[in-house]
Amino acid sequence: MTMLWSLLLATVAVGAPTDPEIVELAGEAFGKKLPEKAVCINRDMMLPEEFEGEPVAVGLMHGAEGCRIFGVVVKSYWVSLERAALASMNDDAWARANSKKRGEFMQAWTTNVMTAFDQFDIGDPRPTHDATANGGIVVETSIWQRTDKKHVAQHTRARFFYDNDGALETADRDTGPKWKSAFTVREYRVEGVTVEQVMASLKTKGRNLAKCMDAGWKENMTISGRTRFQWTIRGGKATQIALVAEDDDGSGIANCYHRALQSIEFPPELGGTVVWSFNIIRSEVKAD
């Protein structure tokens, strides 16, 4: 870290900045005051101990495309993406490190900060070269990015180029195919009532069910699978609701479906037992 960076950071009060303070710093860097909902904050860092600056990744919302990394707060001081990695380290960690260790530093920095608001595809990013022609480091990773279309994600290959001093030179993203997720509901078994009668009631609370998919996709853009429930219609309610089959993706979406089913009202004269499937289907978006 240069003497200038050491002096700048030394003037800042010790202690993690609050969210409102980070929003204010982001606004100053952006050039105008920003609403809190326009700023994304990620403090969940798992960096090597050499990163002592308590970095906080800060992004800006881009509509349906979600958050994009904008800058980093290091010990309550705003730092641009170009210099943030070195500003977050202790004074001599970079100077002492060999090329392999520097690659590990930049791999961890890319994972935790540069892609803080993206979703990884397969595995962690890895330094693909210990050194480029000018002695820098390249970190590559595959990620999923939101697009401006609802429930459509794009597969992307991201490359981050750091110079020999640990500064970010360029960040390139090669976009690949787009995939769309769709929510469907389908009967599996019906006894004592008709499909049309059940569907009519499900549609009255259809938004509650669809919100489960919205929440699941927000957490995982590759979420997919079928979740099957059985319940008994009695007294205008869904009773004895039981999960009978699930594609286990660890999303917890079945709990959300269960709560939505509890809110559905059926005509009081209906009575029967049904099994219904709630599905999230992914398909590649064909190019125009």
pLDDT score, position 16: 80
pLDDT band at 121 (very low <50, low <70, confident <90, very high): confident
DSSP letters spanning 67-127: EEEEEEEETTEEE-TTTHHHHHB-TTHHHH--HHHHHHHHHHHIIIIITTTSEESSS--EE
> What is the predicted pLDDT for the residue at 130?
46
Average pLDDT over the chain reads 88
R_g of the chain, CA atoms, integer Å: 25
What's residue 126's pLDDT? 58
Segments making up each domain of the chain, as ranges: 3-166, 181-285
Total-model pTM = 0.79
Give the confidence band of 136 by pLDDT, cuts at 50, 70, 90: confident
Q: What is the mean pLDDT of residues 162-168?
A: 91
CA–CA dist 5, 89 (Å, integer): 11
Residue entry with tokens 């641009």: 80
Identify each DSSP E strand in the chain by its residue range.
Answer: 39-42, 56-61, 67-74, 77-79, 119-120, 126-129, 137-146, 152-162, 168-191, 225-234, 237-246, 272-285
Does 2 have pLDDT greater than 60?
no
Any idea which architecture 181-285 has in CATH?
2-Layer Sandwich (3.30)
pLDDT at residue number 51: 95
Tens digits of residue pLDDT in 25-66: 999 999 999 999 999 999 999 999 999 989 999 999 998 889
3 pLDDT band, cuts 50/70/90, is: very low
Residue count of the chain, please give it.
Answer: 288
Kindly report, residue by residue over 5-16, the tens digit of the pLDDT: 333 333 333 468
Per-residue pLDDT tens digits for 171-230:
998 889 999 999 999 999 999 999 999 999 999 888 899 999 999 998 899 989 999 999
Taking every pair of C-alpha atoms in the chain, what is the biggest distance, in angstroms? Answer: 79
